[in-house]
A and B are shown apart, each in its own frame.
Chain A
Amino acid sequence: GESVGLHLPTLSVQEGDNSIINCAYSNSASDYFIWYKQESGKGPQFIIDIRSNMDKRQGQRVTVLLNKTVKHLSLQIAATQPGDSAVYFCAEILQGAQKLVFGQGTRLTINP
């Protein structure tokens, strides 16, 4: 990870608070969604995924919510820690396709 853009949406949260990062996707035919975390100087790291037949999935300290009606995906991080500082991307796969389509990303910064 390089800085992925001067125009990235930014979310600042206090350490210990919950973070919610949002993503709008464009194609109603997409049936699989992934959240990635990218720290400076590193490649995107898989966090959690969800299929379109689900509306919620939980991992360790993270929850992904999927609202197919409004084509919206969110990532919730509980008790945000300094190590959560990164750029977060959502990605979607169109049904039957082989390629991921990535959103632009959101930069999460943690205030002590």
Chain B
Amino acid sequence: DAGITQSPRHKVTETGTPVTLRCHQTENHRYMYWYRQDPGHGLRLIHYSYGVKDTDKGEVSDGYSVSRSKTEDFLLTLESATSSQTSVYFCAIRQSTDTQYFGPGTRLTVL
């Protein structure tokens, strides 16, 4: 599992509330990624980080922000959750070989 954990694993929240998802890695990888997975769309990149305090947008970044204050943690924040953000969220790390390994996922439901 490449030492990746995600928390929480499941969350139900209401529209308009802020939500933060956490990805934690234990192997000191430089690159970390946040994806969402939805029926009909596969895996889509939200944001990624290439080091502490270094982040960049992916293809579906609107409505999301990220922070990386230390190597091991990459946080994804939904400032004001909407029903369209109901999804399964996966964190990934990239090893030096370019291979990405994924965490177990967080199922988020926005009512």
Contacts and interface: CB of A to CB of B under 8 A. Distances in A.
- Do A and B make up one complex? yes
Interface of A: 1-7, 32, 34, 36, 42-46, 49, 89, 91, 93, 98-100, 102-105
Interface residues of B, number: 28
Interface stretch (B14-22, B39-47, B62-70, B75-83): B39-47
Contacts of B31: 98
A98 B50 contact: yes
Contacts of B41: 5
B28 interface: no
B43 A99 contact: no
Contacts of B94: 98
Interface in B85-105: 88, 90, 94, 97-105
Contacts of A104: 42
Given A42-B104, A42-B105, A5 B42 contact: yes
A7 B40 CA distance: 7
